[in-house]
Structure 1
Amino acid sequence: MHIDRFQTLADPTRRRVMDALCRGERQVNDIVDEVGIHQSGVSRHLRILHEAGFVTVRPDGQRRLYSLKPEPFRELDDWLAKYRQLWEARLDRFGAALEARQNLKNSKEEREG
């Protein structure tokens, strides 16, 4: 996992380009319409996404069709999994402590009431 991938995803415009590509293969002009920036800007972001391994390009006659590659997202998910497990375990313990506290409070109120 390279930090470059995180730097690539840090840009909000690139994330909007990727959101546009979530709906499938698209031409640059389709992405321009959806993202709302000039064609040169979209092309630059697509080049960066391609170099980082997030996007693939398929020539179709004179058109170039762009789509997302699943592999880098799997790699990100695998990397995040260990942190997700850490936080899920902490949140489970926190939830159990809150539940125990609420049960103690309810028991106390029943005895007093």
Structure 2
Amino acid sequence: MNDNNQSRDVFDAIADPTRRRLIYLLAEAEEIPLHELTAQFQMGRTAVSKHLTILKEAGLVLDRKVGRETRFRLNASPLKETVTLTLQDLGGGKVNLHLEQSGFSNTQGLEGAKYGWSAWCIELEKVLEQ
């Protein structure tokens, strides 16, 4: 874990396809209320909330109350950290250099999260081909 005292591993959190889809949906918007997220799935509000709780425990999702509504947004920092460390381990440091050269280390906000995820996938593919 990192200094954020995350109580759940990022890999555990993203292992489930529903949670990966939630991450994707949150990456596409600045903030989404629970009822809008629930509408994207064929499951109830409680089930979606449980998945969001797991993502929150991993530090991947932040929430805030607006009146009676809870809004969620992506926090890509733990994912970026995990991806960077994983690729560094897999590529013996070479991948980290590629990511820095591609701008991954300087990504911020929503656009940075989208770009970083794409860069990670490309670099992971390169490492796996070796």
Tell me if TM exceeds 0.5: yes
Aligned residue identity for 2:28: R
Q: What residue is the counterpart of 2:19 in the other structure? A: 14
Q: What residue is the counterpart of 1:23 in the other structure? A: 28
Q: Percent same amino acid at aligned positions?
A: 29
Q: Deviations over 1:83-104 (max 9, x none)?
A: 243674785xx7xxxxxxxxxx
Q: CA deviation at 1:80?
A: 2.7
For the residues of structure 2 that align with 1:44 and 1:60, how far apart are their CA atoms? 20
Structure 2-normalised TM-score?
0.60
Pick aligned residue for 1:61 from 58, 67, 89: 67
Q: Which runs of 4+ in 1 moved over 4 A?
A: 86-91
Residue pairs, 1:66-77, within 5 angstroms: 66-77=72-83
Gaps of 5+ in 2: 3-7, 96-123
Q: Deviations over 1:40-73 (max 9, x none)?
A: 1100111111111100001112211100102112
Aligned residue identity for 1:14: R
Gaps of 5+ in 1: 95-113
Residue pairs, 1:23-62, within 5 angstroms: 23-24=28-29, 25-62=31-68
Structure 1-normalised TM-score?
0.68
User: How many residues are paired up?
Assistant: 92
